[in-house]
Amino acid sequence: MLCVAGVCVCAPRGTRAQEPPYFVTYSHHLEEPGNLEIELNPDYGTQRGGNDYLASTMEFEYGVKGWWTSEFYLDGQSTFSDSTIFTGFRWENRFRPLMREHWINPLLYLEYENVDEADKTMIEVTGFDNQADYLPRNAVLRRETDREAEMKLVLSSDFKGWNVSENFITEKNLGHDPWEFGYAAGASRPLRLEATANECNFCLENFLAGVEFYGGLGTSWRLTTAGTSHYGAPVLGWQLPSGVTLRISPGFGLNGNSHPFILRWGVSYEFEGFGWRLRKLFQ
Amino acid sequence: MNARFVPALFVLASLVAVAADSARDWKTDDRGVLIAIARAPVEVRAWKNPYAGQPEAVLAGKKLFSQHCAGCHSEDATGRGRAANLRSSGVQNAAPGELVWVVRNGNLRKGMPSWSGLPPQRQWQLVTYLETLR
């Protein structure tokens, strides 16, 4: 823990992101062009009638243009008293169709995912996702691979330091199954709106707090909030002057179909000018 | 298409995009920021900087500049690549309201991100610092 804290405080200076501290909800803020952000986002989930698990995504987020961000994910999980496995990859792209800020800013999200049924990262909830889906052993779950396309409409607003974001999610298995729907919504703000004159690690301006809710909305055959899982989770982010961002979020299942408790945490570091340095290799 | 080819296609597409981008002229270009300032609505010229003349705000703005802007515009704000020279007369003659509008909206087509995620107080602190670069 001391080593991690040392790295966070003493890391070579990166750049400071402006994204809200959500884990599931997206806002309209994109990666700055040319910057590469590397994130590790593990989550620990409790399982009714089964073994708890630790899942994680490794994310590589790159700002291609001012209006376009691309992100590549590698997923894995470890289920206690079972096994540790790689579960697949995702590739997402986010686009801002409007070039200026508005009261409500839309963002279009497109993703291709190739993950097996053993994936437990739960970076969204759709359809009739249920905590019981995770009960079988990994060897059984990973027999089926899902190749899915996912689209989101993100609506996001910044007002007096607050960010409020709503996501409407639709997911389609490319092989079979109906369209699945889900939602995510969050609100957050920095604990202090003004910046202080000096660099500091523990100033309130470096902390962001908020809350997010997410869950399923059934399928195109049956659009409903019943029979699927829903979660509520406070979120806390800490942006260090070194460019490292730490986040944590204890999430709580809001009905019997949900995992009782999910603890998410994340660490990210943003490399500024990554694209510019890469380009120099080709010149 | 076999799903195994998708990662390879991803890597190939990324390399082609980077190689194509490298062929472009990467001299400092102030036109983007001038166009962005020109696009600011007329009414923003009347916006008053609530931090004008406050030395603490200048220091806070300098810190914010270092955290968010220096990576592209360089630490001395003279610009780098396509990122504009913020000491240029075009920028320094802009009204504070116009500058804060550009910070808030960015110029997405030209690569300048919008910084609306920064609270308005910090946007004004940043502009307070920029105004000292004259």
Nearest by Cα to A18 from A152, A120, A158: A158
Helical H runs in chain A? 2-10, 138-141, 274-282
**How many Cα atoms are found within 13 Å in the side-chain-facing hemisphere of A248?**
3
Closest CA of chain A from B18, distance in Å: 6
Q: Is B99 on the interface with A (CB under 8 A)?
A: no
Closest residue of chain A to B72, computed from CA coordinates: A273
Q: Tokens 């703000």: give the residue.
A: A189
Comparing CB atoms, the residue among A27, A160, A195 nearest residue B64 is A195
Question: Containing domain of residue B51, as a range?
Answer: 26-133
Q: How many CB atoms lie within 10 A of CB A75?
A: 24
B66 lies in some domain: yes
Q: A205 Cβ partners below 8 Å, 6+ apart?
A: A190, A191, A192, A193, A194, A195, A196
Pairing mode of beta strands A36-45, A180-190: unpaired
The one-digit pLDDT tens for each residue of chain B (134 residues) are 555 666 667 667 666 665 555 444 445 567 778 888 888 999 999 999 999 999 999 999 999 999 999 988 999 999 887 788 999 988 999 999 999 999 999 999 988 999 999 999 999 999 999 999 97
Q: Which residues pair with A159 in a beta bridge?
A: A162
Mutate which of A89, A90, A96, A100 to disrupt the B interface (most B C-beta within 10 Å)?
A100
Among chain B residues, CA nearest to A190: B119
Indicate yes or no: CB of A199 within 8 angstroms of CB of B117.
no
- Residue B38 forms part of a structural domain: yes
- Test B108 with A19 for CB contact under 8 angstroms: no
Residue B82: closest CA among chain A residues belongs to which residue? A276
Q: Do B116 and A196 touch (CB under 8 A)?
A: no
> How confident is the model at residue A220, as a pLDDT?
93
Give the range of the structural domain holding residue A270, as residue numbers without chain letter: 2-282
| B12 within domain boundaries | no
Nearest CA of chain A to the CA of B126: how many Å? Answer: 10
Tell me the pTM. Answer: 0.89
Does the beta-carbon distance from A114 to B56 stay under 8 Å? no
Contact A18/B59, CB-based, under 8 Å?
A: no
In 3D space, the residue among A207, A211, A193, A194 whose CA is nearest the CA of residue A241 turns out to be: A207
For every one of its 283 residues, what pLDDT tens digit does chain A have, with 9 covering 90 and above?
444 555 444 455 556 667 899 999 999 999 999 999 999 999 999 999 999 999 999 999 999 999 999 999 999 999 999 999 999 999 999 999 999 999 999 999 999 999 999 999 999 999 999 999 999 999 999 998 889 999 999 999 999 999 999 999 999 998 878 999 999 999 999 999 999 999 999 999 999 999 999 999 999 999 999 999 999 999 999 999 888 999 999 999 999 999 999 999 999 999 988 887 787 787 7
A101/B118 touch (CB, cutoff 8 Å), yes or no: no
Q: Which chain A residues have a beta carbon less than 8 Å from that of B10?
A: 72, 91
pLDDT of residue A9: 47
For residue B94, being part of any structural domain is answered with yes
d(CA B98, CA B36) in angstroms, rounded, equals 9
Domains of chain B: total: 1
The SS3 of residue A73 is strand
Which helix (H) or strand (E) segment is A78 a member of? strand A68-79
The structure tokens 């409007």 sit at A98
Structural domain contains residue B127: yes
pLDDT (0 to 100) of residue A90: 96
Q: What is the pLDDT of residue B7?
A: 63
Asked whether residue B54 is domain-assigned, the answer is yes
pLDDT of residue A16: 64
DSSP code for A176: S
pLDDT for the residue B22:
47
Q: What's the pLDDT score for residue A242? A: 87
CATH number at residue B77: 1.10.760.10
Q: Which CATH number belongs to the domain containing residue A269 in this structure?
A: 2.40.160.40
Q: Give the C-alpha separation, B59 to B4, whole Å.
A: 52
Residue B19: per-residue pLDDT: 54
CA B117 to CA A16: how far, in whole Å?
11
* Tally of domains in chain A: 1
Partners of residue A65 in chain B, C-beta under 8 Å: 108, 111
- Domain presence at residue B68: yes
Tokens 């490399």 belong to A271
Q: Which CA distances in Å does A22 have to A7, A194, A228, A234, A247?
A: 23, 21, 21, 9, 8
The rounded distance, in Å, linking the Cα atoms of A29 and A32 is 9
Give the separation between CA A207 and CA A237, rounded to whole angstroms: 6
pLDDT tens for A171-205 read: 999 887 899 999 999 999 999 999 999 999 999 99
Quick one: A106 exposed, middle or buried, by C-beta within 10 A (0-12, 13-18, 19+)? Answer: middle
**Which of A19, A66, A89 has the CB atom closest to B117's CB atom?**
A19
- Token duo for residue B125: 């602190």
ipTM, 2 decimals?
Answer: 0.88
CB contact under 8 A, A18 and B122: no
CA distances from A106 to A29, A96, B13 (A): 10, 7, 26
